[in-house]
Amino acid sequence: MTFDELRAAEASFHMPVYGRQPVAFVRGTGTMLWDSEGNEYLDFVAGIAVMSVGHSNPTVVEAVREQAGLLTHVSNLYYTEPQVKLAERLHDLLGWGKVFFANSGAEANECAVKLARRWQREQGRPGRAGLVAALGSFHGRTVATLAATGQPAKHEPFAPLPPELVHHVPLNDADALEAAVDDGIGAVLLEVVQGEGGINPATPEYLKAARELCDERGVLLIFDEVQTGLGRTGRWFGFQHSGVAPDVVTLAKALGGGLPIGACVAREAVADAFRPGDHATTFGGGPVPCAAALAVLDVIDKEGLVENSAAMGERLVTALTDALADVPAATEVRGVGLLVGIQLAGEFSREIVDACRDRGLLVNNVKPDTIRLSPPLIVTAGEIDRAVAIVADVLKARVA
């Protein structure tokens, strides 16, 4: 199928929910992708922060191949060893917790929201069904997680959303958070770095204030680490930079090495509020995605990718800041580890994405005025330097 045939078929048979770029990928290895025309690209999108150990990582490929040859699916009516091993592995990484496996980050967050309500009911506070989240946040596209997402433009096509579910407050405004957490609130849901919102880090002081407030008022603190978890920020979990630990953490994206899996991990006393039948999934935690996830965690650990993320992230931010210091088209570089954003002087981010792609670099536009760079954690210094040179050339040319 030629590219034109592929695009025509997609338009005829797929719901029109994606504004796809004019490229079809057919192969990937490490940090590189190749399209249907044979063109090569340095990938600084990584499947939206998913491909942390690179494309077609041989350890992950072999784990998937082996597990698929043994057992692919039996449902959660029965025990499977990969699921139990992965739950234990996540517990050990955090030092606490019991796990519910889903298929995505949105489903992991949905589980967290339901668990918070169930836990509050167990505490004798059934009226505490509300949630506080931050403006600019993104937590998913189910009805509940869309309601939690602090981006009104995403709400409008699907209004009305549950009005009693979520109250939104500005990120890093501790006073606004305190005012919002009243007797109807059961949980506070925060990203430690807002990814889709433009790469906006929560300050350590804000997270500490949130932790103290939740403890004082009997409210659960949930950290959405779907994008930041598992090494992306230069620590295993983004919250570790602040020293503030949540009651519940949600994970997905990088966990499956490209296979669909999400996880909601809650402290034991919270997790045990659930009863059989309270929550479930047919596919979540299946043998193949769990085998892939175990391989991903092995690669991150054995190859020192958390440390590489910290070092390469520092190199990326420093190099971009230096290269763009006198470029009017860019006003700020910000980020943590290998989750980096470039603030533009106007709403021309798609233009920059297209120009970078034409030069063999994939980046993406999370907002009309913001570019995101989230390469695989295996990225090298040479690849960082190459990407920075392309971005700088594109932004300089834009001004010219």
In three-state form (DSSP H/G/I as H, E/B as E, the rest C), the secondary structure along the chain is CCHHHHHHHHHHHCCCCCCCCCCCEEEEEECEEEECCCCEEEECCHHHHCCCCCECCHHHHHHHHHHHCCCCCCCCCCCCHHHHHHHHHHHHHHCCCEEEEECCHHHHHHHHHHHHHHHHHHCCCCCCCEEEEECCCCCCCCHHHHHHCCCHHHHHHHCCCCCCCEEEECCCCHHHHHHHCCCCEEEEEEECEECCCCCEECCHHHHHHHHHHHHHHCCEEEEECCCCCCCCCCCCCHHHHCCCCCCEEEECHHHHCCCCCEEEEECHHHHCCCCCCCCCCCCCCCHHHHHHHHHHHHHHHHCCHHHHHHHHHHHHHHHHHHHCCCCCCEEEEEEECCEEEEEECCCCHHHHHHHHHHCCEECEEEECCEEEECCCCCCCHHHHHHHHHHHHHHHHHHHC
What pLDDT does 149 receive?
78
Catalytic annotation present for 283: no
What pLDDT does 154 receive?
79
- Which one-letter amino acid corresponds to residue 327? V
Sequence ranges of the domains in the chain: 3-53+304-399, 59-302
The count of residues in the chain is 400
What pLDDT does 163 receive?
61
What pLDDT does 164 receive?
65
What pLDDT does 290 receive?
98
The pTM of this model reads 0.95
Scanning the structure block, which residue is given the tokens 């190459």? 386
**Highest CATH level, class, for 59-302:** alpha beta
What pLDDT does 354 receive?
98
Catalytic annotation present for 224: yes
- What is the rounded distance in angstroms from the CA atom of residue 359 to the CA atom of residue 393? 10
What pLDDT does 130 receive?
94
- What is the rounded distance in angstroms from the CA atom of residue 371 to the CA atom of residue 390? 13
Catalytic annotation present for 253: yes
Q: Choosing from 44, 100, 101, 138, which is the catalytic residue?
A: 138
346-363: b (≥16 Cβ within 10 Å) or e: eebbeebbebbbeeebbb
Q: What Rg, from alpha-carbon coordinates, does the chain have? A: 21
What pLDDT does 35 receive?
97
- What is the rounded distance in angstroms from the CA atom of residue 10 to the CA atom of residue 361? 24
What pLDDT does 151 receive?
85
What pLDDT does 1 receive?
87
Digit-by-digit pLDDT tens for the chain (400 residues) are: 899 999 999 999 999 999 999 999 999 999 999 999 999 999 999 999 999 999 999 999 999 999 999 999 999 999 999 999 999 999 999 999 999 999 999 999 999 999 999 999 999 999 999 999 999 998 988 877 777 777 878 778 777 777 667 899 999 999 999 999 999 999 999 999 999 999 999 999 999 999 999 999 999 999 999 999 999 999 999 999 999 999 999 999 999 999 999 999 999 999 999 999 999 999 999 999 999 999 999 999 999 999 999 999 999 999 999 999 999 999 999 999 999 999 999 999 999 999 999 999 999 999 999 999 999 999 999 999 999 999 999 999 986 4
Q: Choosing from 224, 239, 274, 367, which is the catalytic residue?
A: 224
Q: Choosing from 43, 239, 253, 367, which is the catalytic residue?
A: 253
CATH superfamily of 3-53+304-399: Aspartate Aminotransferase, domain 1 (3.90.1150.10)
Is there a shared CATH topology between the 3-53+304-399 domain and the 59-302 domain? no
What pLDDT does 157 receive?
78
